[in-house]
């Protein structure tokens, strides 16, 4: 059975006090046994949130990025060794904002994925198309290229450590959401690509999340689709009441 996942991406938000309060408000509530919660925190709060949630087995802490090298003269970067040393076991890789603002290519993301999986991490791999590509009806080919160039060199065993997050760029932070039918259509296609490149078993076991203006009002319908296994949530994950409702939307 695939994991049901509610993942929050805090991006560059919150003070230390706000991060503490939000984490406590999420971890203090009982989480359904079949739901995994992942908090994608800014680097300064990783140790704090890890400590606050250590006793809650349903919650994992994720970094929002990691460097492809284990160490070195890369001022301002974070290595997998640093993350491992504080107990962080998930990393978000390839978010559209990293691709756009920091020029992260499919080839660079391939290297990041490799080093993280080799060192025991779960990778939340983001993919998705801009509005121009969606309007040209080339969105499936666009996403397929992202997956082929960054993920599909992995073995089936390695791929078990990947969670795919489909995020149509035109729906991130805009208030516009892909309809449940649009989300299901792309998730189904992504799963078909996994089946084609690996096996039916691999495809049926890999969780695919939807990201793009997920909120309590639409989460239940989105998560109810056959191939949508949860969400990578942005703005709504910064509010405890909203995110707790999303966690209970499955």
Q: CA–CA separation, 82 vs 79, rounded Å? A: 5
* 80 is annotated as an active-site residue: no
Of 97, 104, 144, 167, the catalytic one is 167
Q: CA–CA separation, 80 vs 117, rounded Å? A: 10
Of 60, 80, 90, 95, the catalytic one is 95
- Angle, nearest 10°, between helix axes 139-150 and 180-197? 40
* 95 is annotated as an active-site residue: yes
| Residues paired with residue 232 on neighbouring β-strands, in sequence order | 7
Q: CA–CA separation, 170 vs 112, rounded Å? A: 25
In the 3-class helix/strand/coil scheme, how is 2-66 assigned residue by residue?
Answer: CCEEEEEECCCCCCHHHHHHHHHHHHCCCCCCCEEEEEECCHHHHHHHHHHHCCCCCEEEEECCC
Q: Catalytic amino acids?
A: 95, 167
């Amino acid at each position: 059975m695939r994991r049901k996942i509610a993942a929050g991406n805090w991006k560059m938000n919150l003070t230390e006090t706000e991060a503490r309060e939000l984490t406590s408000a999420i971890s203090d509530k009982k989480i359904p046994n079949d739901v995994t919660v992942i908090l994608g925190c800014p680097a300064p709060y990783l140790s704090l949130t890890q400590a606050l949630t250590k006793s809650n087995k349903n919650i994992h802490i994720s970094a929002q990025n990691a460097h492809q090298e284990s160490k070195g003269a890369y001022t301002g970067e974070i290595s997998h060794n640093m993350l491992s040393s504080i107990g962080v076991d998930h990393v978000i890789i390839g978010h559209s904002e990293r691709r756009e603002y920091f020029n992260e290519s499919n080839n660079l993301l391939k290297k990041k994925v490799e080093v993280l999986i080799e060192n025991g991490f779960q990778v939340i791999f983001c993919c998705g198309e801009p509005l121009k590509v969606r309007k040209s009806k080339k969105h499936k080919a666009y996403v397929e290229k992202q997956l082929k160039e960054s993920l599909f060199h992995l073995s089936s065993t390695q791929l078990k450590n990947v969670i795919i997050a489909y995020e149509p760029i035109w729906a991130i932070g805009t208030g516009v959401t892909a309809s449940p039918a649009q989300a299901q259509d792309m998730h189904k296609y992504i799963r078909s690509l996994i089946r084609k490149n690996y096996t039916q078993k691999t495809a049926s076991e890999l969780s695919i999340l939807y990201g793009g203006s997920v909120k309590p009002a639409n989460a239940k319908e989105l998560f109810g689709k056959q191939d949508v296994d949860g969400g990578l949530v942005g703005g709504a994950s910064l509010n405890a009441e909203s995110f707790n409702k999303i966690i209970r939307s499955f």
